[in-house]
Structure 1
Amino acid sequence: MTSPVLALRRAVLERAEVDAELKALMGGAVRLYDEPPRASPPVYALFGDVKAEDWSTDFDRGHEQKLSLIVWAERGSARTALAVAERLAAVLDDAPLVLDAHRLINLRVTEVASERDKDTQFIRVTVRLRAVTEVA
């Protein structure tokens, strides 16, 4: 059986990759990664932390997932990072994603938070989401 976490990640990436506005904001391609890319200048986004908890009922197996997407941009590019984060939020909030071996019950953006990394001075904008899925 496909992991609900991996199924949701795949669906999020597929949804993001077809959004022309998001591609334009990220320099022509959606750059959403599992790990920071080597020698790739920001702006890019990473899948951040995820927590999946049992959300089963008497009749269906399910999970509640709390996940984050983290947008990184170079110093002086806060506007770009915020624009990418806001577009990700718009594309994903309540999106009808299709998941492998799971059904998405709902997907909501719960927070968008911006801060400056104290070591690099890069801008980091975190988009936090909550999803509920059931096994298909």
Structure 2
Amino acid sequence: MTAPAVELQKAIFEAVNDDPDLSAALGDAQLFDRAPENVAFPHMTVGRTSVYDWATGTENNAEQLLTLHVWSKSEASNETTDIMDLVSARLRDAALSLGEHRRAHLKLEFAEARYDEDLSAHHGLLRFHAVIEEDG
């Protein structure tokens, strides 16, 4: 049986990378676990992931926090915020099937866009809260 965190990350990769609006906004880039060297901008990466197991003797459920990062070298911040809006719309309240008879319900918990002086890039953060439940 695959861990729920792995299944959730795979489902999010598929949802984001298969979305035509996001593909158009990101160009040739997409969502990466870790961005390859010399990757084109804009692109997205997966950040910190935390899993909280709240399994009981009869249920095998968990909560997960997952952060997605948006990176842009555009002069204006709107490229970053536009991509963040597309990701939010795609994943907001999504009920993702995780296989192994599990499902995850996503909620956007936190969003922030800022300019990173050290990297000379706009940086967007989207933190999603997922409740992962076994199908009954």
TM-score under structure 2 length normalisation: 0.90
- List runs of 5+ in structure 1 lacking aligned partners: none
Segments ≥4 residues shifted beyond 4 Å? none
For this pair of structures, how many residues does the alignment match?
135
Aligned pairs for 1:9-20 within 5 A: 9-20=9-20
SS at match of 1:120: coil
SS at match of 2:99: coil
> Cα distance 1:100–1:30, how it changes in 2: closer, same or farther (>3 A)?
farther
Distance between the aligned counterparts of 1:13 and 1:109, measured in 2? Answer: 16
Q: Which residue pairs with 1:78 in the alignment?
A: 77
Aligned pairs for 1:11-30 within 5 A: 11-27=11-27, 29=28
Question: 2:5 touches 2:64 (CA, 8 Å); kept in 1?
Answer: yes
Distance between the aligned counterparts of 1:102 and 1:118, measured in 2? Answer: 45
Question: 2:29 touches 2:41 (CA, 8 Å); kept in 1?
Answer: no
Q: Which residue pairs with 1:5 in the alignment?
A: 5
Deviation at 1:30, TM superposition (A): 5.7
Q: Which residue pairs with 2:97 in the alignment?
A: 98
RMSD: 1.6
Deviation at 1:46, TM superposition (A): 0.3
Question: 2:8 touches 2:104 (CA, 8 Å); kept in 1?
Answer: no
Amino acid at match of 1:63: A
TM-score under structure 1 length normalisation: 0.90
Deviation at 1:135, TM superposition (A): 4.1
Distance between the aligned counterparts of 1:133 and 1:7, measured in 2? Answer: 10
